[in-house]
Each structure stands twice: as C-alpha cells, then as structure tokens.
Amino acid sequence: MTALGTAVLAAAAVGAVPAASAAPPTTQVRLITFNDLHGNLEPPAGSSGRVTLPDGSAVDAGGAQFLATHVARLRGEVPNSLVFSAGDNVGASPVNSSLFHDEPTVEFLNQLGVSASVVGNHEFDEGVEELRRMSDGGCHPVDGCQFRESFPGADFEQLGANVTHEDGRPALKPFDVQTVGGTRIGVIGATLEDLPSVVAPGAIDGLEFGDEVEAINRSSRVLEAMGVKAQVVLLHQGDGTEGGGPDDCRLTPGPGAEIAKAASPAVDLVFSAHSHAQYNCAVEDPAGKPRRYLQGASYGRLLSVADLTVDRRTQDVVREQTAARNEVVTRDVPADPAAQALIDEAAAKAAPIADRPVGSIAADLPRAGAPSGESPLGDVIADAQFEATAANSPQVAITNPGGLRADLLFPGSPAGEGDGMVTYGEAFAVQPFGNIMQTMTLTGGQLKAVLEQQWTPEETNILQVSAGLHYSYSESAPIGSKVTGISIDGQPIDLDASYRVSVNNFLAGGGDGFTEFTKGTDVVGGPVDLDAFLAYLDAHPGILPPPPDRITAQP
C-alpha cells in the first residue's frame, strides 16, 4: 500500500472514533468554603454548636475532627475540589487555641488543605505583625513557641484586595489563581471596608481599607487580562437573616448582598462571612445575570459547597448550571484521625490552665436574652467590669455584646469539673480578647448619644450595662431619638452633668461605631477584662441571672 493510502486509512480511522471517547466539553469543579471558625477546634457548646434546620429543629454541629471528615468526603465525590475560608479563622478563640496564639488552628487549616483565605477583622486582633507571623511562621516575639518547637505558618494565601498601605501600595495579595482539573480559578479576597471600627486602635496602624466593590472589580479586571475567566470572591462581610434553615434566603438589610450585587459581572460566585448567618441566595449581577451568594454560619458548623460547570473551550463558568448548598457539619461521622490528634494535643497542653475551676454559677448565663437585647451574661459582665474599676469611681459600666464570645452554661464540661463550676477555659471563652478596662468622664448628653448609637440604618447593637443604669427605647422612633428615661441609681440623668463610665479600650477607641466614647475625658486605666470577670466569679459564687430590667423595649 502506498504511503498516501496508509494516511487516508489512518485519517478514516481517526474520524471513526466514537463520540463517547472525545473529551467532554465541560469540567466539574467543587468549591468548599467555611467562615468565622474562630479557632473552634473542639465541638462548640450550647447554641454555638447547633444549626437550625428548615423545620425549626436544631442539630448539633461543628468540631474540627468532624469538619475534616466532611471535607474529605466532599473532595472525594468531586476530585477537582478546592477548600477556602472566608476569614476570621483565628481570634476570639477558645483557650486551647488562643493560649498558643492560634497556632493549633493554623495547623488544622494546613491539614485541611485550605488553598486561600480572605483576612477577616479578627486576623488583625494582635496587630499586623502577628498577622504576618501567622502567614510566614516563626515563634511569637514575646512568648516564643509554646505549642510546638517551631511554627511553620500558613500553607495558604491570606488575601485582601482592599487592604493597602497609606501610600496606596497593596498590603496583602489581592487575589490568587488556583489550577484544578485543567481550569484556572481566580479567587479574590475582600474584607469589610469598616474594619477599623471593629478592631482595637493601633492594631492596624499604617493600613487603609478601601471600598469592597472597587477592589473586587479592580482584581477582576486583572484576572480577565490574565485570561482567568472563572472568578469567585471570598468576602468577609455579610447580612443577617430572618431565620430559616441553612439554605434559606430571607435576608435582613445589610452590606454583604449589596456588594454581591454590585461586583463585576465577571465574578461567578460570592462566599460571604462576618455576620455568622446561614443563607444561600441568588442575587443579580450588574448585567442582570444571577449568581450565588451564600454564608455558612460560623464555628465550623456549616460548609458552603458550590459545584461549578466550566466550559473547557472558554474556561468560563456556565453560570446557569451552578449548584450551591450549605451542608451541616454533623457529628455522626467518624472523627478524622489527624484532626483528632491535633485537638487532643492542644487540649492536653492547655489543660493545666484551662481546667482550673475559677467560680460557680447556679443557672445558665446565655448571651441571648430579653427581647430588649439585654442578656443575663451581658448583665454579669457589665457588673464585673463595674466592680473591677471601683477604684476609678465609676457610676456605670458598659460593654459591647460582640465581646461576649460564648455562653456560660450550668452543665459540667468534659473536663469533669461538675455542674455549675466555671473553669478558666470557660471564662476565657467568654472574654478572650484581653481588652483593658478604662474609666472616663462623659456628660449626660454624651451618654445619651452613646445609647442612641446602638441603632444605625444597617444594624442594631445593644450594649450591655451594669445594674445602676436603666433606660427605655422605642422601636418605632427614628434613629437618633429612640432612648428615653435614662437614670443612674434611680436618679434621672442631667444632660449637662458629668458621669464616670467604665468601658473596655475597644469601645473607648470608638469600636463598633460607638464614636461618642472617643469624646470621654479624664481617662484612667483598669484591669484586663478577663481578670475583671475572674475576680467577679471568685467574689460571687453561685451567680444567678440578674433580673432583665435594665433596658426596656417599647413599641
């Protein structure tokens, strides 16, 4: 046979290959994301360790050993999978992580195979240099390496497209590109623009936090120029909900959804965080095309799972074929051995401190409470801070609800201390920030202004107050004119008189938007907030929930 004839036969043979053996036109990629872990390696207790289901019932959820098992299963189902975090991996952590400057949590994320994370506000709790150490490794500059002999740092990128130095230079990597299944996925990280209002003064010196949408769109354009068509956003900002199960979408007004709607049409999916809410929504991008926007509660209780179909030819996501859900991290699966070993190691090393009894309670002290926003735990913490600053002659103490990170529950813990006994670890879980108490002078008018700042168009943030302060507020009154009937020790306040008020340094610096506190004068320091709480527990055994009569909500 001639060479020409051989070639013709070969060509015919190629043309006769069945269509089934040709490469499929699309690739399936799975993205697995969690948010606001806050160092919760052990299964969180109380309401922090439950997920509400669509029928209103709740199921126990969370725990690093179970989170790892669920992630391994999800990755096994779709080999082309990536794991991300939407921020607040560390900070406000339980004692078995925070005692070691959250090094155990970073090790867990490395075990989990996290590819990228956006920085949340809590990544800045100990300042910019500590964030760099978390990323790059090395022993703590003061305490050294207390968990293990060395600390290698994070194996994943920590992103922040809208985080810059004062001169405009990027302070963090804005995005990352991951290749999986022959597809490049662009991952953009953006944290909340108002981050300076929710971290302690000085923690972010020299940094600026820009508009989230502008930063996302700027990064998206660069990715497009690089030929990266499949794009997702890790957004450390979110919304509240009106309830419902993990995939409900009854959002209350908040900034997260507005950012998700306004971001570039090139973005295919937005994972959100910060509000500790659970939702799974479809929002419309500026081109009128729907895209998924979801958040998976907090503390490792949910995994946000998105299955993308990517066109092999265009390398872009076939948006209408995206499937997304929030999956409960149930505890009815085998514990991951590596994660369990890490948890056991951290618990054993922390136990001599964490399991020491420091006081007692006679009933649960939850963070949630009366419809007014006043809570049993908030009352107790405010009373503790009032008592701890007695030398500064306060007339009232005020604390922020976001500083209370765990319920204080009556049943004994696995440490075996017994019902009603409070361990150092449990107290630490309630007050983990190490804020310093300060007492300042405010006028009555400034105190009223502080209380009015509890309401903004975006949210309501009810401060917790000590026993001497009472007031009412009207739900229907306009913002700025809601508070009436303010009294201290039974006497109506005089707007022109001076009052001594104890707060932590986070509030004193205007944290959580309470900027009126920055006008305080004659500021005197006090103890660390945790020490104040420990002293109160020691002095008041068998604490009961105080009557919820300090704040009265009216129509």
> 15: pLDDT confidence band, cut at 50, 70 and 90?
very low
Confidence (pLDDT) at 164 = 98
Whether the pLDDT of residue 48 is over 90: the answer is no
Distance CA(355)–CA(121), nearest Å, equals 29
CATH value at residue 361: 3.90.780.10
**Residue from 403, 516, 504 nearest 453 by CA:** 516
16 band by pLDDT with thresholds 50, 70 and 90: very low
Residues 381 and 284 occupy one common structural domain? no
Residues 6+ apart with CB under 8 A from 60: 43, 49, 50, 330, 331
Q: What is the rounded average pLDDT for all residues in the chain?
A: 93
For the chain, percent of residues with pLDDT exceeding 70 = 96
Claim to verify: residue 438 and residue 306 sit in the same structural domain: no
Sign of CA dihedral 504, 510, 514, 518: positive
Domain holding 218, by residue range, is 23-337
Q: Once rounded to an integer, what is the mean pLDDT over residues 475-503? A: 97
401, 400, 388, 415: which is closest to 531 by C-alpha? Answer: 388
Does position 312 have pLDDT exceeding 80, yes or no?
A: yes
How many domains does the chain fold into?
A: 2
Q: With a cut of 90, say whether residue 11 has pLDDT above it.
A: no
* pLDDT value of position 505: 87
pLDDT at 189 over 90: yes
- Considering the domain architecture, whether residues 373 and 247 belong to the same structural domain is answered as no
Residue 313 in domain: yes
Cα–Cα nearest to 438, from 531, 498, 529, 523: 523
The answer to whether residue 238 is domain-embedded is yes
Report if residue 16 sits inside a domain: no
Final residue before a domain boundary, out of 307, 337, 367: 337
Q: Answer yes or no: is pLDDT of 8 > 80.
A: no
266 and 387 share a domain? no
Is 347 among the domain residues?
no
Same domain membership, residue 414 and residue 303 = no
Tokens 């995939």 locate to: 247
Note whether 216 and 362 are same-domain residues. Answer: no
The H-or-E segment that residue 339 falls in is helix 337-354
Of all residues in the chain, what percent carry a pLDDT higher than 90?
85
CB contact set of 107 (below 8 Å; sequence gap of 6+): 342
> Phi-psi category of 127—alpha, beta or left, where left has phi over 0 and alpha has psi -120 to 50?
left
Burial (CB < 10 A; 0-12, 13-18, 19+), residue 168, is exposed
* CB-CB contact of 377 with 422 (8 Å): no
pLDDT at position 458: 81
Comparing 41-55, 225-239, 539-553, the range with the smallest average pLDDT is 41-55
Let me know if residue 179 belongs to a domain.
Answer: yes
Tell me what pLDDT residue 104 has: 98
Domain end call among 308, 337, 366: 337
Q: Are residues 230 and 263 in the same domain?
A: yes
pLDDT at 550: 98
Three-state DSSP class for 67?
helix
Provide the CATH number for the domain around residue 179.
3.60.21.10
Residue 343 domain flag: no
Q: Which residues are CB-contacts of 180 (< 8 A; sequence separation ≥ 6)?
A: 29, 80, 81, 82
pLDDT at 485 over 90: yes
pLDDT of 162 reads 98
Domain-embedded: residue 399 = yes
- In this prediction, residue 21 carries a pLDDT of 55
Please, which residues bridge with residue 157 across strands? Answer: 116
Residues 264, 365: one domain? no
pLDDT of residue 46: 81
For the four alpha carbons of 271, 275, 278 and 282, in that order, the dihedral sign comes to negative
Average pLDDT of the residues in 35-51: 92
In the predicted structure, residue 302 carries a pLDDT above the cut 90: yes
Q: What are the respective helix, strand and coil percentages of the chain, to the nearest 5?
A: 30, 30, 40
Task: Examine the pLDDT at 279 and tell me if it is beyond 50.
Answer: yes
Query: Could you give the CA distance from residue 69 to residue 338 in angstroms, rounded to a whole number?
Result: 10
Q: What's the pLDDT tens digit per position in 204-214?
A: 999 999 999 99
> What was the pLDDT predicted at 22?
66
Calculate mean pLDDT across residues 235-263.
94
Map tokens 């490794």 to a residue: 137
Same domain, 121 and 195: yes
Please tell me whether residues 498 and 425 are part of one structural domain.
Answer: yes
Helices (H) and strands (E) in the chain, counts: 13, 29
Check whether 410 has a pLDDT greater than 90.
Answer: yes
pLDDT in tens, 53-79: 999 999 999 999 999 999 999 999 999
Candidates 126, 107, 129, 222; CA nearest to 176 is 222
Q: Is the pLDDT reported for residue 6 higher than 70?
A: no
pLDDT of 7 strictly over 50: no
Residues β-bridged to residue 117: 85, 158
Find out whether 288 and 257 touch, Cβ atoms under 8 Å.
no
Q: Are residues 329 and 403 in the same domain?
A: no
Choose one of 305, 337, 369: the last residue of a domain. 337
Is residue 14 a part of any domain in this protein?
Answer: no
Co-location of 241 and 124 in the same domain: yes
Would you say the pTM of this structure is higher than 0.75? yes
